[in-house]
Amino acid sequence: MAKAIKKPAQRQVLLHLEDVWKVYQMGEVEVAALKGVTVEIQKGDFVAIIGASGSGKSTMMNLIGCLDMPSKGKIFLKSQDISQLTESNLASLRGITIGFIFQQYNLIPTMTAFENVLLPLEFQEMDDKAAHERARYILDLVGLSDKTFHLPSQLSGGQQQRVSIARSLVSDPEIILADEPTGALDSVTGREILETLHRLWKEEGKTIIMVTHDLNLAQYAHTTIELKDGKIINISQRKEK
């Protein structure tokens, strides 16, 4: 177990969590989901967050993705303290810098694959023509150019997840956050999705942070962070191939 993080080629801290706590108030009771997490994630890393159910993985992802704010401690994204950002700045950050992939795909059911992929660009007020081109290009990239005008309900789980990957990629974010992206898929499809993510990491140089239960899938990652009861108990790095 190598606790020290091996320096990648060009070391640059993209994300820095500093003594992060997340305490949920459940009526009278306080539940601490994260208890003083401190970690640095390098640009271009492929990180897997593993741990038992309830260990705080999703909580950590939500904080990294600026969907939630820590109860205590600081999160720096590209050296910026996210607690200092306005609502609108956080929205831009989520729209431009971060791409989300969810376990349940979370596509908008009334919109076609194309419209779903287009949506993040619409929030960024990208010019229509450029946005359409971009969405089409990305759908092609995930191998769905023939399913452009299908509704989510007309697609298989794996296809829906690929639409969701396309959506997370469309605004060319630096970080892709995936909370159990294969959780709802069979192992073969899950592996395919992981291959896609891995290829993106290799070819596009994205920073990928993924939560998974499946230790086999965690093998794809470069860095593995293990959580237990809201604390990091282990960080390991695979030797470069």
Partner 1 sequence: MKFYKSFKHALNMVLHSKIRSWLTILGIVIGVAAVVAITSLGQSLQQDINSQLGALGGDLVTIRAGASRASGFFGGGGREGQVGGITSSASKEEIVLDKTDVQALRGVEDIKLIETEISGRADVYYVAEKGSTTITGVDQKVWFQITTSKIKDGRMLGPADTNVIVVGGRFASSFFTTQVGINQMVTIGSRLFRIVGILDDESSSIYMPIDSAYETLEDKTKGVYDSIIIKVKNEDELDTAVEHINEKLRISRHVTAAKPDFSLTSNKERQQQREQITSSMTSFLTAIAAVALLVGAVGIANTMFTSVLEKTKEIGIMKAIGARNADILAIFLLNAALIGFIGGVLGIIFGILLSGFLPSLMGGSAGPLSRLSGGVISIQTVFIALFISIMIGVISGVVPAYQASRLRPVDALRFE
Ligand X SMILES: Nc1ncnc2c1ncn2[C@@H]1O[C@H](COP(=O)(O)OP(=O)(O)OP(=O)(O)O)[C@@H](O)[C@H]1O
Q: Interface with ligand X by CB under 6 A: which residues?
A: 24, 26, 31, 33, 51, 53-59
∠ CA 108-110-112, rounded to 5°: 80
Nearer to ligand X (CB atom), residue 49 or residue 118 = 49
Look at residue 66 and give its three-state secondary structure: coil
Q: Minimal CA–CA distance to 42: which of 146, 133, 185, 175?
A: 175
User: Of 46-54, 64-72, 197-205, 231-239, which part binds partner 1 (CB under 8 A)?
Assistant: 64-72
Spell out, one character per residue from 147 to 186, where the chain touches partner 1: x when CB under 8 A holds, - when not. --------------------xx--x---------------
Residues numbered 54 to 93 that lie near Mg ion (CB under 5 A) are 58
Alpha helices in the chain (DSSP H): 57-64, 87-92, 113-123, 128-141, 157-169, 187-204, 215-218
**Largest Cα span, the chain:** 53
Question: Residue 68 binds which entry of ligand X, Mg ion, partner 1, none, with Cβ cut-offs from 5 to 8 Å by kind?
Answer: partner 1
User: Judged by CB under 8 A, does residue 85 bind partner 1?
Assistant: no
Question: Residue 56 binds which entry of partner 1, ligand X, Mg ion, none, with Cβ cut-offs from 5 to 8 Å by kind?
Answer: ligand X
C-beta of residue 73 within 8 angstroms of C-beta of residue 18: yes
Nearer to ligand X (CB atom), residue 21 or residue 137 = 21
